[in-house]
């Protein structure tokens, strides 16, 4: 470990740096060419450490406990530009390799088991995604709001498997929400567990099992508990990722006279029951059902605090979650395209490749056009969020389009393989099931 002025980097930058240091030396990093991004994050970590030395050790802790640290909006160049930054390109390439080598391989087993494998989650933890979402002052490596980067990450992971991507991104979404809306005390109490050596499960629970669910008006409610001075939660949440192993749930609940708020609920809270909820698809995410029957949490479980300065806006949560869902849809849809192209070129019928027929070739062309269209809508919404501009309409358009086109692509993917598409020898049937989730889910992921 590098020593500087008597301090080890380990002591200064803490756990995330430790995890990244370990990653950069690991075989996995070598295999996935993750060394460069890991080094970059290490550099950031070292920079934080050095700054801490300059400011006097403990400067990080000198902030008043009540002052939260937020990520700032990024300043746009004012130009129309589809060029990712160098960091985004690096991130995209790393995630793509990880998706190709780890997630694609693990997808079938996770789908069968309706649960992600522990080692997959541990390896994913090594990617440092949580650290990217946490500001430097709180021990992470983030500086600006990075919704486009988050969308790129979600897309690439989803090219491996949408269910596993959801599992991997579930705690990252919780981290984002805490950074965005938590009080200073909540940030300091809750964030470190996600920056440790090991994967920590957590999930953002918004969706409820009702037809035409409106995320703006959840029926789960939080009422004041006069006896304890805390809150009692009533209601249910559906299709919550990582339900089997999440230690912490961030639960959207209506507070009468106030509006929707997020509550931090530990899994062993009395009055909360968690049961598995295996579904049509996204089985690799380990989906579960939460039932709150007077589940009691303390006063400071209300994210952002009970005061009038609580900046939480459920609309923003819905918008940014939908952008991430759009990105997941784009990733799996791209997988469909990448899979059917070689298939229709090699499948022979009536003496020639079936791709020589317009009915087949045009279906493939349409998939390509719609995937690109979805991607542009998602990136536009994400870039607006990143720049602190109103993004509700853009996010809604992205969700709308992804819900209809991604499902069509999932269906066409199976159709192009015919009977072969219907059996589990090929992944298209799983993509078909996973893509039906787009347009249904709310919450869970965040961009």
Partner 1 sequence: MINLETPKRFRGLVEQAHGIAVNVFRPISRKYDLAEHEYPKELDLLAAIIDGVNDGGGAASASQLQKDDKSSSEEASGSATKNGGNLATVLSMMELCWGDVGLALTIPRQGLGNAAVAAVGTPEQKAKYGKRWISMAITEPNAGSDSAAIRTSARLEGDEWVLNGEKIFVTAGARSDAVVVWATLDASLGRSAIKSFLVPKGSPGLKVARLDHKLGIRASDTATLLLEDCRVPKENILGSAEIDTSKSFAGAMKTFDNTRPVVAAMACGVARAAVERAREILEQAQAVRGNNRSPWLGSHAEAELCRLEAEVDVARLLTLKSAWMADNRVPNSVEASMAKAKAGRVCTEVTLRCVELCGAAAYAETDLLEKWARDAKILDIFEGTQQIQLLVVARRLLGKSSGELR
By CB under 8 A, residue 380 contacts partner 1: yes
Site string for partner 1, 51-90 (x = CB under 8 A): -----------------------x-xxxxxxxxxx--x--
Q: How many residues bind partner 1 (CB under 8 A)?
A: 53
From 53-61, 89-97, 303-311, 394-402, span contacting partner 1 (CB under 8 A): 394-402
Please say which residue, 396 or 415, places its beta carbon nearer to partner 1: 396
Contacts of 90 (CB under 8 A, 6+ apart): 36, 37, 40
Q: CB under 8 A: which stretch of 106-114, 256-264, 389-397, 428-436 binds partner 1? A: 389-397
Could you write out the DSSP letters of every residue in 209-244?
A: SSTT--TTS-S-EEEEETTTTEEEEEEEEEEETTTT
CB-wise, 354 or 414, nearer to partner 1? 354
Give the shortest CB-318-to-partner 1 separation in angstroms: 6
419 touching partner 1, by CB under 8 A: no
- SS3 at position 304: coil
Binding pattern for the stretch 155-194 against partner 1, x by CB under 8 A and - elsewhere: ----------------------------------------
212 binds partner 1 (CB under 8 A): yes
Task: Mark 271-310 with x for binding to partner 1 (rule: CB under 8 A) and - for no binding.
Answer: ----------------------------------------
- Binding of partner 1 at residue 383 (CB under 8 A)? yes
How many whole angstroms separate alpha carbon 285 and alpha carbon 114?
A: 7
CA distance 206 to 239: 9
Are 185 and 63 contacting, i.e. CB atoms less than 8 angstroms apart?
Answer: no
User: Of 248, 271, 378, which is closest to residue 324 (Cα–Cα)?
Assistant: 378
The CA R_g of the chain, rounded to the nearest whole Å, is: 22
Considering the complex, what minimum distance in angstroms separates the CB of residue 408 from partner 1? Answer: 12
**Angle, CA of 28, 30 and 34, to the nearest 5°:** 85
* Minimum CB distance to partner 1, residue 51 (Å): 25
By CB under 8 A, residue 127 contacts partner 1 = no
Residues with Cβ within 8 Å of 342's Cβ and at least 6 positions away in sequence, in order, are none
Candidates 166, 253, 374, 435: give the one binding partner 1 (CB under 8 A): 374
Our CA angle for 62, 63, 68, nearest 5°, is: 155
313 lies in the site for partner 1, by CB under 8 A = no
Q: Which stretch binds partner 1 (CB under 8 A): 46-54, 290-298, 314-322, 419-427?
A: 314-322
Single out the residue of 90, 185, 189, 368 in contact with partner 1 (rule: CB under 8 A): 368
In this structure, the number of other CB atoms found within 10 A of the CB of residue 140 comes to 28
Count of CA atoms in the C-beta half-sphere (13 A) of 447:
34
H-helix or E-strand spanning residue 276: strand 272-276
Is residue 364 a contact point for partner 1 (CB under 8 A)? yes
Gap between the Cα atoms of 407 and 435, Å rounded: 5
> Which residues lie closer than 8 Å to 78 by C-beta, 6 or more apart?
none
| Smallest separation (angstroms) from partner 1 to the CB of 220 | 17
If the CB atoms of residues 15 and 368 are measured against partner 1, the closer one turns out to be 368
* Binding pattern for the stretch 324-363 against partner 1, x by CB under 8 A and - elsewhere: -----------------x--xx---------xx-x--xx-
- Rounded to an integer, what distance in angstroms lies between the CA atom of residue 409 and that of residue 375? 14
Query: What whole-number distance in Å separates Cα of residue 378 and Cα of residue 403?
Result: 12
Other beta carbons within 10 angstroms of residue 172's beta carbon come to 26
Q: Is 388 an interacting residue with respect to partner 1 (CB under 8 A)? A: no
Kindly state whether residue 214 participates in binding partner 1, applying the rule CB under 8 A.
yes
Q: Which residues bind partner 1 (CB under 8 A)?
A: 74, 76-85, 88, 148, 212, 214-216, 315, 318-319, 341, 344-345, 355-356, 358, 361-362, 364-366, 368-370, 372-374, 376-377, 379-380, 382-384, 387, 392-393, 396-398, 400-401, 404
């Amino acid at each position: 470990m590098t020593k500087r002025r008597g301090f080890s980097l380990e002591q200064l930058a803490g756990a995330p740096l430790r995890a990244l240091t370990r990653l950069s030396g690991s075989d996995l990093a070598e295999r996935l060419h993750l060394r460069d991004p890991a080094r970059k994050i290490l550099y950031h970590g070292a920079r934080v450490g050095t700054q801490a030395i300059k400011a006097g050790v403990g400067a990080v802790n000198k902030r008043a406990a009540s002052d939260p640290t937020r990520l700032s909006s990024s300043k746009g160049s004012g130009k129309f530009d589809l060029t990712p930054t160098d960091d985004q390109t690096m991130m995209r390439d790393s995630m793509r390799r990880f998706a190709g080598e780890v997630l694609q391989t693990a997808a079938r087993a996770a789908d069968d088991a309706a649960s992600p494998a522990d080692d997959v989650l541990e390896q994913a933890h090594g990617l440092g995604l949580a650290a990217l979402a946490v500001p430097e002052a709180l021990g992470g490596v983030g500086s600006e709001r990075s919704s486009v980067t988050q969308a790129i990450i979600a897309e690439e992971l989803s090219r491996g498997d949408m269910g596993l991507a959801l599992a991997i991104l579930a705690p990252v979404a919780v981290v984002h929400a805490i950074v965005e809306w938590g009080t200073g005390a909540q940030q300091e109490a809750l964030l470190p567990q996600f920056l440790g050596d090991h994967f920590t499960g957590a999930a953002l629970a918004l969706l409820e099992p009702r037809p035409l669910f409106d995320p703006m008006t959840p029926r789960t409610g939080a009422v004041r508990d006069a006896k304890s001075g805390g809150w009692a939660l009533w209601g249910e949440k559906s299709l919550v990722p990582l339900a089997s192993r999440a230690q912490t749930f961030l639960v959207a609940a209506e507070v009468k006279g106030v509006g929707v708020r997020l509550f931090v609920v530990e899994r062993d809270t009395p009055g909360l029951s968690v049961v598995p909820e295996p579904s049509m698809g996204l089985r690799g995410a380990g989906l579960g059902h939460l039932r709150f029957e007077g589940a009691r949490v303390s006063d400071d479980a209300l994210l952002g605090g009970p005061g009038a300065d609580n900046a939480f806006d459920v609309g923003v949560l819905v918008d940014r979650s939908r952008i991430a869902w759009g990105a997941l849809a784009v990733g799996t849809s791209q997988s469909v395209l990448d899979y059917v192209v070689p298939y229709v070129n090699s499948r022979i019928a009536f003496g020639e490749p079936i791709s020589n027929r317009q009915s087949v070739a045009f279906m493939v062309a349409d998939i390509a056009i719609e995937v690109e269209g979805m991607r542009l809508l998602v990136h536009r919404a994400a870039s607006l969020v990143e720049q602190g501009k109103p993004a509700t309409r853009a996010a809604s358009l992205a969700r709308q389009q992804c819900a209809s086109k991604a499902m069509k692509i999932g269906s066409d993917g199976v159709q192009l393989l015919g009977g072969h598409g219907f059996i589990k020898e090929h992944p298209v049937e799983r993509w078909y099931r996973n893509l039906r989730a787009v347009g249904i889910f709310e919450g869970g992921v965040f961009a």
